[in-house]
Amino acid sequence: MKLRIKYLRQALGLTQSAFAAKAHVNKNMIANYESQNSNPSLKQIEKIALAFNVEPAWLAGWDTKPQIVVKEKIVKVQDPSARIPNDWKNDECGRLIKWKESRKQLYKSCGG
């Protein structure tokens, strides 16, 4: 935490007094945070972050990288007949469709 506050202050070229004034906190609090004599509350972190337009999570030293969330799992099907949907049993004539397993081709005997 101390490194981020000090880093931000130095990057902006501000003294502790100017930094504290802009963040609307006490100068002694900034000095204590930088020397690790005390830690700021979440309310103070949010106040400082808002004043300098940075993320509170970054200022607190937390990892702000987005986490990858797996929403669905892809499963490879080995058996070709398992790829055939259950609801595709009848053709347009109402007759049962016979699927050939080796090539997934449709064989039907609909008189035409």
Residue 72 forms part of a structural domain? no
Instruction: Say if residue 46 is in the same domain as residue 13.
Output: yes
Residue 93 CB partners (closer than 8 Å, separation 6+): 110, 111
Q: Which residue has the higher pLDDT, 75 or 30?
A: 30
User: Is 71 contained in some domain?
Assistant: no
Digit-coded pLDDT (tens) for 43-77: 999 999 999 999 888 888 887 676 777 777 777 76
Residue 22 lies in a domain: yes
Top pLDDT among 72 and 25 is at 25
pLDDT surpassing 90 at residue 13: yes
Q: Is the pLDDT of residue 108 over 60?
A: no
Calpha distance 44→26 (Å, rounded): 11
Residue 88 included in any domain: yes
Q: Which domain holds residue 21?
A: 2-60
Considering the domain boundaries, does residue 74 fall inside one? no
pTM over 0.85: no
